[in-house]
């Protein structure tokens, strides 16, 4: 990795932290300059606009999410073990400082039309599609009943993960992880072959 690429990585990591704590509206080239101790003009050369910065932050976060959540889960055996791995990896992702950047972005941008919201929508659809596909392999592997609707199971799994995020982050509920796992086990039991 070149020095420029390494600097860009540091900038995008810092911008992601800002987005999770002050929101996308509160994140600007100025606030990023202050948090990274880099010049506004140097940051402007990288991003040109606040919107470009926001889009780059989302792209950077998605690449990290794939590396930390999705790819390791895909190394698990197909079917229920892979669903379990994806679930556990997502709970860990939710528990990072500042929580899940995608949950924060979805809450903040759901009524804000434009390219940044469009990117959040695409990323959320990709996530639900990934969950559904992993659930579908649970059906084809014989782990889940043949009448299981993978999209519905993905919807419900995502609901458990979102509730975990809210309870752990907003409500500071130390039992959120255990409750999420109990809900997860109940959900899988309903679909198990």
Mean pLDDT by 10 residues, the chain (193 residues): 78 89 85 83 80 92 96 98 98 92 93 95 97 98 98 98 96 96 98 95
Residue 20 CA to residue 3 CA, distance in Å, equals: 26
Tokens 């003009």, residue located: 41
pLDDT at 37: 83
How distant, in Å, are the alpha carbons of 39, 55, 81, 109, 120 from that of 114?
Answer: 28, 11, 38, 9, 10
- DSSP secondary structure letters along 72-117: HHHTSPTTHHHHHHHHHHHHHHHTSTT--HHHHHHHHHTT--SHHH
User: Domains of the chain (ranges plus CATH)?
Assistant: 50-191 (1.10.357.10)
Whether this prediction's pTM lies above 0.85 is answered by yes
pLDDT at 27: 85
pLDDT at 111: 92
Question: Shortest CA distance to 56 belongs to which of 64, 48, 47?
Answer: 47
pLDDT at 10: 84
Residue 15 CA to residue 1 CA, distance in Å, equals: 20
pLDDT at 41: 82
């Amino acid at each position: 990795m070149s020095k420029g690429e390494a600097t860009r990585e540091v900038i995008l990591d810092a911008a992601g932290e800002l987005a999770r704590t002050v929101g996308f509206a509160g994140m600007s080239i100025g606030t990023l300059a202050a948090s990274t101790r880099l010049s506004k003009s140097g940051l402007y050369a990288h991003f040109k606009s606040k919107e470009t910065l926001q889009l780059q932050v989302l792209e950077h976060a998605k690449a990290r999410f794939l590396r930390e959540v999705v790819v390791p889960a895909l190394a698990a055996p197909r079917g229920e073990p892979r669903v379990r791995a994806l679930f556990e990896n997502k709970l860990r992702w939710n528990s990072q400082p500042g929580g899940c950047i995608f949950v924060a972005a979805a809450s903040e941008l759901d009524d804000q039309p434009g390219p940044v919201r469009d990117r959040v929508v695409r990323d959320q659809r990709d996530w639900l599609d990934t969950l559904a596909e992993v659930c579908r392999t649970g059906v084809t592997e014989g782990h889940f009943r043949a009448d299981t609707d993978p999209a519905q199971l993905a919807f419900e799994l995502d609901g458990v993960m979102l509730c975990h995020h809210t309870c752990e982050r907003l409500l500071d509920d130390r039992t959120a992880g255990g409750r999420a796992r109990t809900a997860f086990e109940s959900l899988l039991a309903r679909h198990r072959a």
